[in-house]
Amino acid sequence: MRRVGVEPDVTNSAVQVLDKAVGFEVLREIAEPEKDVLLSACTREQFEAATGGDER
């Protein structure tokens, strides 16, 4: 299965809302040296289900 991953800062609620709106799901929180991030991933199927299609 192919998927896209993102790592927004845990304090960036605006990006988290956008990620969720296009199908990303949070996998876990990761503590990096410079910040804490939420590792999130999205498959094509999740994206299409969240957005109503695969328009590019």
pLDDT in tens, 9-28: 999 999 999 999 999 999 99
Question: Residue 56 domain-assigned?
Answer: no
Question: Residue 10 domain-assigned?
Answer: yes
Q: Is the model's pLDDT at 1 over the cut of 80?
A: no
Number of folded domains that form the chain: 1
Q: What is the largest CA-CA distance in the chain?
A: 38
Question: Residue 11 domain-assigned?
Answer: yes
Could you tell me the residue range of the domain that residue 43 belongs to?
A: 3-51
Question: Residue 29 domain-assigned?
Answer: yes
pTM: 0.81
Cβ 27 vs Cβ 43: under 8 Å = no
- For 47, phi and psi rounded to 5 degrees? -60, -50
Question: Residue 21 domain-assigned?
Answer: yes
